[in-house]
Amino acid sequence: MLWRKFNGDKIELPIIDEVERAIQKETAAGYKLKVCIGTDSQVKSQETEFATVIVFLREGRGGFMFIHNEKTTYKYTIKERMLVEVAKSIEIAYELCDLFTLYDVDMEVHADINTNPHFKSNEALREAMGYILGMGFAFKAKPEAFASSSCANKMVN
């Protein structure tokens, strides 16, 4: 999996090592961190592009993020696509959760799913919430899910 920083720099290390390095650097600088993981997608003609982000929030001091993009030609229903977004976020959250526990960093999984039943994405809310909570992760949906609905949304080209 290829990851990059917001400035476009490629992350050469495995993501788990880069995340650990970032946590060590930020905590050594005295920052209390919180991590939010989210994925968004966009359909353009024959392709669906997914962007997954790991957002590091420094308590009261801004933040930064790592980004991974992926494209596919598979045709998803809206509900399938929402659940694939959640699955991509959970995959990376699961890979990193022991690290967050080790360094006492709070982590949330954000789903780009609307809590308003008038929106199509709401069809996937119950399953997504069950999936995330069932894995033992904290969960946020729109409008609180900024990692997916704002950060990842801007990274989908």
- Tens of pLDDT, residue by residue over 120-156, are 878 888 889 999 999 999 999 999 999 999 999 999 9
CATH 1.10.357 fits 3-155, yes or no: no
Distance CA 143, CA 84 (A): 19
Edge-to-edge order in the sheet of strand 47-58: 10-11, 3-5, 63-72, 47-58, 33-44, 106-114, 138-142
Question: Quick check: 55 pLDDT over 90?
Answer: yes
Is residue 43 within 8 A of residue 13, CB to CB? The reply is no
Per residue in 76-93, pLDDT (tens digit) is 999 999 999 999 999 999
Q: What is the mean pLDDT of the chain?
A: 94
Question: Which residues face 40 on adjacent strands?
Answer: 51
Query: Is the pTM of the predicted complex or chain greater than 0.85?
Result: yes
Number of neighbouring beta carbons within 10 Å of residue 64: 14
Domain ranges of the chain: 3-155
Q: Which two tokens mark 39?
A: 């994925």
